[in-house]
């Protein structure tokens, strides 16, 4: 006797739908993929038969018929140990998934340790036909990926790019909260204000440092000491060890992210300094850790999930042949903790 249970478990194919609807396979494919070539009446009959049979198109079939991979690429150039400690990327990836999962897209995530490896990964994603588009994140000044992606013909959306890059982009302006954080310190009587920056080659490091410098100039204050960090907790501790041994030492420090700010605070404590009595500290990102430490950190609350959602929606539109306008999300909002106080008396 035939195994009816095995037959019932067999996947319904587009051939089954065509046979049940009494039309050609080409007409069935056109109807189910919303392409021209069939009348509305025939399209409705085919769709109804597909639903009746429980037909769901396979990803492979959809890829072949639409010439798409239904995947998009994200290459993160960071040391794995550094990446593990930074919660920004977890939130960013979540935001992408919130958009693409509803469109049956998958995220191809790759991690590289050098610029050369990063460029090679973009080339491979293109040559292997693995993705329909890519994100350009953590852009560097004169980033080599821009020219490469244009050369490869990959649809792309840039995150916090400069206007000169001429790619569709989504931005969250960091200069506004950095000015606000610096002005907060100035309002507390601080005049010797230092800065712990990110790596100099990154565009967002430049934007944040430039906003701090501009604000100091605007108030007629001398630019304080700068330590070029690496966005890590340990980098923040090294910054404290270096900057707080100077004479005169800064009475306040603006850090380019929260992880370095938390490290800076601990580094100051290791030197026997009090926060904020001896030195005030601010961060940027608004990660949960900034509320767990004592004193709690004055910072700016970003929204990487929102940023990623906007970027993913833009990339989906581009893949579908659209030409979306650039998007801007509101700047990070200041979160008042206890790491800022009045400038100490001389």
CA distances from 258 to 13, 15, 42, 214 (A): 53, 57, 60, 21
| Distance separating alpha carbons of residues 231 and 203, to the nearest angstrom | 14
The answer to whether 243 and 227 are in contact (CB under 8 A) is: yes
Residue 116 lies in a domain: yes
The answer to whether 251 and 258 are in contact (CB under 8 A) is: no
pTM: 0.79
Residue 245 lies in a domain: yes
Regarding whether 288 and 145 lie in a shared domain, the answer is no
Is 344 strand, coil or helix? coil
Regarding whether 199 and 118 lie in a shared domain, the answer is no
Regarding whether 312 and 163 lie in a shared domain, the answer is yes
Dihedral pair phi/psi, residue 159, rounded to 5°: -110, 120
| Distance separating alpha carbons of residues 156 and 149, to the nearest angstrom | 8
Regarding whether 294 and 183 lie in a shared domain, the answer is yes
| Distance separating alpha carbons of residues 285 and 231, to the nearest angstrom | 11
Q: Name the domain count of the chain.
A: 3
Residue 259 lies in a domain: yes
Single out the residue of 251, 241, 250, 331 nearest to residue 286, CA to CA: 331
Regarding whether 38 and 182 lie in a shared domain, the answer is no
Regarding whether 243 and 262 lie in a shared domain, the answer is yes
- pLDDT recorded at residue 3: 47
With residue 111 as reference, give the H or E element that holds it.
Answer: strand 106-112
CATH of the domain at 23: 1.10.260.40
Residue 131 lies in a domain: yes
Residue 228 lies in a domain: yes
Query: Per-residue pLDDT for the chain (346 aa), expressed as one digit of tens each?
Result: 444 444 445 677 778 888 888 888 778 777 776 667 788 888 888 888 888 887 766 555 554 444 667 899 999 988 777 777 777 888 899 999 999 988 888 999 998 988 999 999 999 998 888 899 999 998 988 889 999 999 999 999 999 987 777 889 999 999 999 999 999 999 999 999 999 999 999 999 999 999 999 999 999 999 999 999 999 999 999 999 999 999 999 999 999 999 999 999 999 999 999 999 999 999 999 988 899 999 999 999 999 999 999 999 999 999 988 899 999 999 999 999 999 999 997 6
Would residue 285 be called left, alpha or beta, if left means φ above 0 and alpha means ψ between -120 and 50 degrees?
left
Q: Which of 285, 302, 319 is the last residue of a domain?
A: 302
Regarding whether 295 and 188 lie in a shared domain, the answer is yes
| Distance separating alpha carbons of residues 313 and 320, to the nearest angstrom | 11
Residue span of the structural domain in which 218 resides: 175-302
Helix 144-152 × helix 115-127 angle, to 10°: 10
Q: Which residues of 68-77 are buried (b: 16+ CB within 10 A; e: fewer)?
A: bbbbbbbbbb
Q: Which of 66, 90, 120 is the last residue of a domain?
A: 66
- pLDDT recorded at residue 67: 61
Residue 151 lies in a domain: yes
Q: Which of 51, 66, 81 is the last residue of a domain?
A: 66
Regarding whether 324 and 311 lie in a shared domain, the answer is yes
Residue 261 lies in a domain: yes
CATH of the domain at 186: 3.40.50.2300
Regarding whether 214 and 287 lie in a shared domain, the answer is yes
Regarding whether 298 and 184 lie in a shared domain, the answer is yes
The answer to whether 256 and 205 are in contact (CB under 8 A) is: yes
Residue 160 lies in a domain: yes
């Amino acid at each position: 006797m035939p195994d009816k249970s095995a037959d019932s478990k067999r996947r319904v194919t587009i051939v089954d739908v065509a046979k049940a609807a009494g039309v050609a396979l080409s007409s069935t494919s056109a109807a189910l993929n919303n392409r021209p070539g069939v009348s509305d009446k025939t399209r409705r009959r085919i769709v109804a038969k597909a639903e009746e049979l429980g037909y769901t198109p396979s990803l492979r079939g959809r890829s072949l018929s639409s010439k798409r991979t239904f995947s998009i690429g994200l290459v993160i150039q960071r040391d794995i140990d550094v990446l593990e400690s930074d919660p920004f990327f977890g939130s960013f990836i979540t935001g992408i998934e919130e958009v693409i999962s509803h469109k049956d897209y998958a995220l191809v995530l790759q991690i590289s340790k050098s610029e050369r490896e990063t460029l090679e990964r973009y080339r491979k994603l293109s040559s292997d036909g693995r993705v329909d588009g890519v994100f350009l994140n953590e852009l560097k000044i004169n980033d080599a990926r821009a020219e490469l992606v244009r050369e490869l013909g990959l649809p792309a959306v840039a995150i916090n790019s400069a206007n000169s890059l001429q790619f569709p982009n989504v931005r969250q302006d960091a200069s506004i909260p950095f000015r606000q954080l610096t002005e907060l310190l100035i309002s507390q009587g601080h005049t010797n204000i230092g800065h712990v920056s990110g790596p100099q080659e990154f565009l967002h490091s430049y934007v944040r440092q430039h906003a701090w410098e501009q604000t100091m100039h605007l108030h007629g204050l001398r630019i304080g000491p700068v330590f070029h960090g690496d966005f890590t907790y340990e980098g923040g501790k090294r910054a404290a060890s270096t900057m707080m041994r100077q004479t005169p030492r800064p009475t306040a420090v603006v850090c380019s992210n929260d992880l370095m700010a938390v490290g800076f605070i601990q580094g100051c404590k290791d030197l026997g300094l009090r926060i904020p009595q001896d030195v005030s500290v601010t961060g940027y990102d608004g990660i949960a850790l900034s509320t767990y430490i004592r004193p709690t950190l004055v910072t700016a609350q970003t929204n990487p999930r929102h940023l990623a959602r906007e970027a993913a929606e833009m990339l989906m539109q581009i893949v579908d042949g659209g030409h979306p306008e650039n998007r801007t999300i509101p700047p990070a909002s200041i979160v008042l903790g206890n790491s800022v106080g009045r400038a100490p008396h001389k």
